[in-house]
Copies of this chain bind each other. A is one copy, B any other.
Amino acid sequence: MKFENVLLGLLAMKPLHGYELMKWLDTEGQFLRSNTHHSQIYRELGRMVTNGLVEFHVDPREGRPDAKVYRITDVGREALVEWVHSPYQPTSRFQDADFNARFIFTAQLDPAAAIVVIDTELDYRRAQVLRSRTRSLTMADPDPIPEIDLARARRLGLAMHEFGKESVDRWIEWLEEMRASLVDEIASDTVAEASVTATPTEEARS
């Protein structure tokens, strides 16, 4: 996943300048993608201009510094559509930009494809939960730091592990809810448009 795609998706909705993108990713968008330093945004936008994905014009403000307002280009739109239709590969970190951006921007352009994305994510997370049950090491029989408290380490490690599993389980539940509501939406859309456009409802489940 490239950060580029997040910016591309946002700029597809509305032209914005770097500072606005930064602010949005720090407040409303902080659960879509966290850990976004402003330097990264400006650097990325610069590269996207070079690659022709976006263009900008300088907006002079009264009483405020000038701002560069970026607008997505046709090339950018094509790149966005192409990304949305490229295969999704989950990573080990859940509830992260890798999935979130893919899901949001895919759902806008192609709801059926978004369901495939969810199913891919679900398969991966379920496997992850299973993998977390295997115990590969015993952290005993140590040569530890004198002051170290191994009993506490095990207790806290276990608590952390339990909370991690709980979180993934809740994530899986949420994904299932999202999937169900998307399926409903597609179904009602299809019914509504059936007589007009006759949109085919391909079953997206692999």
Contact = CB atoms under 8 A, between A and B. Distances in A.
Interface in A31-85: 31-32, 34-36, 71, 77, 80-81
A122 interface: no
B13 A148 contact: yes
Q: Which of A30, A36, A100, A128 has the most CB of B within 10 A?
A: A30
Interface of A: 10, 12-16, 20, 23-24, 26-28, 30-32, 34-36, 71, 77, 80-81, 91-93, 95, 100, 103-104, 107-109, 111, 128, 131-132, 134-137, 139-145, 147-150, 152-153, 156-157, 159-161, 163-165, 167, 170, 174, 178, 185
14 contacts: A10-B139, A12-B148, A13-B150, A14-B144, A26-B92, A27-B131, A27-B135, A28-B132, A28-B135, A28-B137, A30-B132, A34-B92, A156-B178, A170-B170
